[in-house]
Amino acid sequence: MKQWIDHALLLGITISITLLLISIPCGAASTDILIEKSGTVMSWTDAHIDNNLVATYVSTNSPPAVRVYFMNGTLYKSVPLSNDNVDLDSFRFSDGWVYFTEHNRDDATYWQNETVYQYTLATGERKVLYTTPGFGERVTKIAASGDHVVLLGGNDNRVILYTLSTGESRTIFTARNSVYGFAIDGDRIMWGSERVDKGSGREIHVYTISTGTDSIIPESKSEKTLGYGDISGQNMAWVMSAKDPASVNGVPDLSVSYDMKLTNLVSGRTQSVERSDTAPITSPFISGDTIAWVKKPNVDYNNSDIGTIRTYNITTGTFGNFAANVDAISDLDNGVVLWSRLEPVSFWVTPLSGKIPEVTSPALSQTAIQVPTTVQKTTTSQKSPVNLIVIVSAFTAGIAGYTALKKKR
């Protein structure tokens, strides 16, 4: 009987330790801050960071608006759309401006012209930057840096460069089919497209605004290149499939592996940062010396929130892992990753340093701060599936078992 008691005690202790271990979150060292939790799986969503402010858009929110938050999840300002019947086709938040393209919700064919607006956060002034020239033409992506705004126009195949100081726009590239990744930093713009030499696969372009030159990364000319990436200073991150793509109904499937690439635009050297033969391909983000992407263990069409934020420091050559249950990254800026979950639909920020950055935007002193409405101001760590009640229950079960057996004895 003594052995029974020993086993009962062992059982209780084992369960308690197991549950305590489960309750310790993965990646607990990171500070994950909930910015907004709204919308549904059907919502069209997008979000960006600028100068320690976060702008989000959730198509099912009413009234439709871009919401700008402080880094602690407090609402700073809502940027209203023209009316309740419009939706966004694209938006970007950069240098104190919110750029967005409106589209009429009733027009499923996109026959009506679209307008790109520039909203000044400090003053609330809204200005028309660009209007699409014909029916069926859209602006589906916007990137901005300093005096330049880049628009993905036409039928997702034209790169349009707009200069704020002159108000002029010009098409700098037209793809055979589509333009994919799309980013700007300072004097350089990057994008991916089908190969211009009509070879199979895609390639990565780097356009220098001051010289008007369009260069192609030689290593990117491949059937394995996805065409997505990001640029920061002299570095560019982009991605290709690690394996030769399998053909699915005649279409090469690039989705089941990745080879993360880093190209130094000064030296011209391209290196592989990390490869995975099982993790789904993912688009990288780069800011300063940090590259970030979502790493998921496998392709899972029914369960999206299974990733972690993977980082690579270019200077030190070290990797990091942050957050858990991540679906996708929306932006990376000054060491802060903006990411999202699908169930429930929510936006989060994770400062890679572990410290919440202070708000430094000069725009804030010029506008009254609004009271938060629908947001939850929450600072969280990863939630454990087992809570305190469960742990207490386990202890109780162990003690009860011990007591019962002791009495029986």
Residues that bind other proteins (CB under 8 A): 3-4, 7-8, 10-11, 14-15, 18-19, 22, 39-46, 60, 89, 105-111, 136, 138, 140, 155, 178, 180-181, 226-228, 248-249, 251-255, 280-283, 296, 299, 301-304, 327-328, 330, 340, 342-344, 385-386, 390, 394, 397
Which DSSP symbol is given to 222?
Answer: B
CB nearer to other proteins: give 105 or 269.
105
Q: Closest distance between other proteins and the C-beta of residue 317, in Å? A: 27
- At residue 20, the 3 state secondary structure works out as helix
Alpha-carbon span 407 to 67, nearest angstrom: 63
Closest CB to other proteins among residues 62, 165? 62
Of the two residues 153 and 181, which places its CB atom closer to other proteins in the complex? Answer: 181
| Neighbour count for residue 18 (Cβ, 10 Å) | 12
Least distance to other proteins from the beta carbon of 216, Å?
A: 19
Please, are residues 271 and 284 in contact by the beta-carbon 8 Å criterion? no
Shortest CB 296 distance to other proteins, Å: 8
In terms of CB distance, is 247 or 365 closer to other proteins? 247
CB nearer other proteins, residue 309 or residue 363? 309
- Output the furthest CA–CA distance in the chain (Å, rounded): 91
- Tell me the one-letter amino acid at 189: I
Judging by beta carbons within 10 Å of its beta carbon (0-12, 13-18, 19+), is residue 78 exposed, middle or buried?
middle
Closest separation between CB of residue 200 and other proteins, Å?
12
Contact 286, 232 (CB under 8 A): yes
Report in angstroms how near the CB of residue 322 gets to other proteins at its nearest. 18
C-beta of 265 vs 405, nearer to other proteins: 405
How near is the Cβ of 267 to other proteins at its closest, in Å? 28
The residues facing 260 across adjacent strands are 239, 274
Provide DSSP, 196-261: TT--SSEEEEEEETTTTEEEE-GGG-BTTEEEEEEEETTEEEEEE-SSPPEEETTEEE-TT-EEEE
Find where tokens 């260069």 sit: 215
SS3 169: strand
Tokens for 14, please give them.
């084992």
Distance CA 297, CA 305 (A): 11
3-state secondary structure of 23: helix
Instruction: State the nearest-atom distance from the C-beta of 87 to other proteins, in Å.
Output: 8
- Rounded to the nearest whole angstrom, what is the least distance from the CB of residue 212 to other proteins in the complex? 28
- Beta-ladder partners of 404: none
Nearer to other proteins, 153 or 357 (CB): 153
| Among the listed residues 217, 218, 224, the one whose alpha carbon sits nearest the alpha carbon of residue 191 | 217
Output 178 or 264, the one with its CB closest to other proteins: 178
DSSP-based three-state secondary structure for 381: coil
